[in-house]
Amino acid sequence: MSLDKTADCLFCRIARKEVPAKVLFEDDRVLAFEDIRPQAPAHVLVIPKAHIASLEDAPAGSEELLGACLVAARRAAREKGVDATGYRVVLNTGPDSGQVVFHVHFHVLGGRRLGWPPG
């Protein structure tokens, strides 16, 4: 069994190009790709390339990286054409929130009217 927690992390594997994904864009810190089970006409996931299991696990000093993810979420909304009508950015933290993949990821959802409250 590997002690490297990134070895089996699905999103780390996507970032390393070991698992295919429909990539919208990337840079040296973040990756944005289409969700394979979209919950809205536009549904993009934005991840840091560095492995952070959840927001609760974000180390001190990760503010710049998490901020880069939010700026990337805005870019994803613009590239998907939902910036003018509105979009939602969701970050689930922990099992009760619905987090399934334990690698921080921001959902960017849009393209239809979204209900409130979510969940």
Residue 115 lies in a domain: no
Residue 49 lies in a domain: yes
Digit-coded pLDDT (tens) for 65-105: 999 999 999 999 999 999 999 999 999 999 999 999 999 99
Print the domain residue range for 73. Answer: 10-110
Catalytic annotation, pick one of 43, 51, 105, 107: 105
Domain CATH number, residue 50: 3.30.428.10
Q: What angle do CA 8, 74, 106 make, to 5 degrees?
A: 30
Query: Which two three-digit tokens encode residue 29?
Result: 């810190």
**pTM greater than 0.85 (yes/no):** yes
* 105 counts as catalytic: yes
Query: Would you tell me how many other CB atoms lie within 10 Å of the CB of residue 46?
Result: 27
